[in-house]
Structure 1
Amino acid sequence: MYKKISGEDFSGLISRQFDHNGANQQNNTLHSPYFDCSSSILVNQHFHILHIKADFRENMLVQNMNDSDHLSLHFQLKGYSNARISGFEHTQSLKQYQTRAISCCQIQASYEFPAQKNYEYITISVKPSIVPSLLATIDWPAYQELALANQSFSITEHAQPFLAEQLQVIQQLLNNPFPNDLQERFQFLKIAELLLWYKSIPATYPIAKSPISASDQEKLWALKDFLDIHYLEPLAVHDLPKIFLLNDFKLKTGFKALFNTTPYQYILELRMQYARQCLLDQPNYSIDTLAEKLHYSTKGHFMTAFRKRFGRLV
């Protein structure tokens, strides 16, 4: 039995409207007796990136949601869901660690969210007017013709495991390092890169069972979640295997396989992004204070690391 909610009531959380007034970020929450959801949206006139997290206490059915035309790349980080989308015969299902890519026109959709905790999902959407040039960039004429004809199509016939390289690109999109006048060009090239991975998967990445067990994957995602929250604390990387019940080899190689970085490098990157945002928000922020907060032994060591990552101080 599914608790039902109208698409109109849910649309404020995941609205896919492109913004012609320039880039902006939106944060939304929606609570009910049956679920708690939060979303973060990065949007401009051509691209829309939605990151949603939720706890569903009951099976939920979101009915009859109208949506704007778009090409979308879907990444199920945690949990699972089903979508019934007009123009597609089969249910679009996604399980944890799976991805799919579809282009939709004249859309009405319904979504099923089974009861689950820690649901997490990212979708990257592209305005139809940009899709043909994206597909031309990676030389995919068959889909380019469908896009020019305003037809719905599926790039991935079935959901498939996403790659660590794709997750790395998503992180780059979420932490766009460029100023406003270059952000859209950066997004265009990175989304083209994601599409190129879909194009290459059938030839060079046959779907196979992951060498990392499902149990270890859960622990590694829990480790990433922990680092996302506690990266400003004086963490001892050598203690992490004990905390997350993984031996040192599995922790390092498994984290690298899933996220294309080591736990130590991931902590450093989170701290660098934090420092950059502090300096953007407060240009007069004390470098000494920031270096101490990020656990650098000296101001000079921090400045060297920051310049190596971003090229210059903000």
Structure 2
Amino acid sequence: MYQLSGNEFKNLVKREFTTDIMTTDSSVTLPDVFSCQTKSLRTTDFDLLNFYGTFNEDTRVNHFQDNTHVSLHFQLAGSSGAFISGMPKDQSMRQGQFNVLNCINPTSSFIFPKQQQYEYMCIGLKTSFFNEVLHECGTPYQELIARGEDMKSFAVFDSPMHTNAFQFSALRLLQNPPIANNLKENYLKSKVKELILLCMNAYSTNSNQPVKSLNNIDIDKLKAVKNYLSINYLSALTLEGISREFLLNEFKLKKGFKQIFGLTVFSYIHELRMQHADSLIRDAKLNIGEIAAILGYTSDSSFIRAFKLFYGQSPGKRIVSQIK
């Protein structure tokens, strides 16, 4: 495993809050080991960091020191591990997952397994900005504010959550804001706030919270349904068939799944299919018609519309952006 010091890594992902909006691009390549690029945008209350990489060897970053912040961390492609001071366990994430991390002067080690396509997006928030949004959300979120005021690091979710279509849409608009420069900072702030609210919605429906009308057996079945869908998402699926397979009535399947996981059964299936489509497009071995057929679309145009709605750009533009 290739070892990298935290100071070397900091040159690539330096975090700081600024009084004026500022953007920077960075890149570093170590032949036969890794190639990484970052795009960052910094403001008074938050910073946006996009990190892309190709790792030809397993790589570990040691002793990376950062400033106190709240991190909305979204794993968009690939996987990684993170050992963060104050956190009780490894904060590993896989593609399509997110978590909210309260980091107090963190010292971290990161592990990047060998992989060809790695991407994450981190929205680093000033604690005061995050708490301001939570205060507006009312009583259910006062516990999180109190935990942050204790000046201890913690993860909002015990395990990473599944990123939903609304979060993906907000992330893509943050990456490519469709707005004039003089309006950009206010626009970005509104989208960041939107992402905080979407994450807090997942917190309120998280399976660790009390679930009304569902017993432990129902909850175990719904978790089994989610695992089943994560493997069989390309199959022809119906609520009736899933209900019969898991001996769970349709009402509990529909309402319970959304209550626990924050999205409907078919929203979850759709996200998995779109992520698979994106992987196939990145691989560039199949044409659009073949990919549409794999995902079960009867026409190329219907697949292209669905893909553009999910990712904010057509498959063709997605391919071009990957080349760039």
Q: CA deviation at 1:217?
A: 5.0
> What is the aligned residue count?
257
User: Any stretches of 5+ residues in structure 1 without a counterpart?
Assistant: 228-238, 275-314
1:23 aligns with 2:44: no
Q: CA deviation at 1:176?
A: 3.0
User: Any stretches of 5+ residues in structure 2 without a counterpart?
Assistant: 208-222, 235-268
Alpha-carbon distance in 2 for matches of 1:89, 1:255: 43
Alpha-carbon distance in 1 for matches of 2:304, 2:82: 30
The residue matched to 2:88 in structure 1 has which SS?
A: coil
Q: In structure 2, what is the equivalent of residue 116 of structure 1?
A: 115
Alpha-carbon distance in 1 for matches of 2:206, 2:300: 24
Classify 1:3/1:169 alpha carbon distance in 2 versus 1 (closer, same or farther; 3 Å). same
Q: In structure 2, what is the equivalent of residue 287 of structure 1?
A: none
1:204-283 matches, within 5 Å, as 204=205, 208=226, 209-210=229-230, 212-213=233-234, 216-217=273-274, 219-222=276-279, 240-242=288-290, 246=294, 247-249=296-298, 261=309, 266-267=313-314
Q: CA deviation at 1:167?
A: 0.5
Classify 1:168/1:218 alpha carbon distance in 2 versus 1 (closer, same or farther; 3 Å). closer
Amino acid at match of 1:248: Y
1:59 aligns with 2:116: no
CA deviation vs aligned residue, 1:166-192 (integer Å, no higher than 9, x gap): 011112222334455654443333223
Q: In structure 1, what is the equivalent of residue 99 of structure 2?
A: 100
Q: Which of 74-83 and 201-210 deviates more?
A: 201-210
CA deviation vs aligned residue, 1:60-115 (integer Å, no higher than 9, x gap): 01000010111011111111000000011101010111111111002100000011
The residue matched to 2:314 in structure 1 has which SS?
A: helix
Alpha-carbon distance in 2 for matches of 1:49, 1:252: 33
The residue matched to 1:88 in structure 2 has which SS?
A: coil
Q: In structure 1, what is the equivalent of residue 245 of structure 2?
A: none
Counterpart contact for 1:223–1:244, Cα < 8 Å: no
**TM-score after normalising by structure 2:** 0.69
Identity score, percent:
26
Q: CA deviation at 1:132?
A: 1.3
The residue matched to 1:111 in structure 2 has which SS?
A: strand
Counterpart contact for 2:58–2:112, Cα < 8 Å: yes
The residue matched to 1:171 in structure 2 has which SS?
A: helix
Q: CA deviation at 1:202?
A: 5.4
Q: In structure 2, what is the equivalent of residue 304 of structure 1?
A: none
Q: In structure 2, what is the equivalent of residue 128 of structure 1?
A: 127
Classify 1:25/1:216 alpha carbon distance in 2 versus 1 (closer, same or farther; 3 Å). same
Q: In structure 1, what is the equivalent of residue 162 of structure 2?
A: 161
Alpha-carbon distance in 2 for matches of 1:179, 1:150: 38
Counterpart contact for 2:281–2:315, Cα < 8 Å: no
Alpha-carbon distance in 1 for matches of 2:191, 2:47: 13
Moved over 6 A (4+): 250-257, 268-271
Classify 1:245/1:118 alpha carbon distance in 2 versus 1 (closer, same or farther; 3 Å). farther
1:134-213 matches, within 5 Å, as 134-139=133-138, 140-179=141-180, 182-201=183-202, 204=205, 208=226, 209-210=229-230, 212-213=233-234
Q: In structure 1, what is the equivalent of residue 265 of structure 2?
A: none
Counterpart contact for 2:157–2:203, Cα < 8 Å: no
Amino acid at match of 1:261: L
Classify 1:56/1:253 alpha carbon distance in 2 versus 1 (closer, same or farther; 3 Å). same
Q: CA deviation at 1:222?
A: 3.6
Q: RMSD of the alignment, in Å?
A: 3.4
Q: In structure 1, what is the equivalent of residue 35 of structure 2?
A: 36
Classify 1:161/1:256 alpha carbon distance in 2 versus 1 (closer, same or farther; 3 Å). farther
Amino acid at match of 2:131: P
The residue matched to 1:242 in structure 2 has which SS?
A: helix
Classify 1:64/1:212 alpha carbon distance in 2 versus 1 (closer, same or farther; 3 Å). same
Classify 1:226/1:181 alpha carbon distance in 2 versus 1 (closer, same or farther; 3 Å). farther
The residue matched to 2:157 in structure 1 has which SS?
A: coil
Counterpart contact for 2:15–2:67, Cα < 8 Å: yes
The residue matched to 1:192 in structure 2 has which SS?
A: helix
Classify 1:262/1:182 alpha carbon distance in 2 versus 1 (closer, same or farther; 3 Å). closer
CA deviation vs aligned residue, 1:135-192 (integer Å, no higher than 9, x gap): 1133321112233443322211111211011011112222334455654443333223
Alpha-carbon distance in 1 for matches of 2:205, 2:105: 34
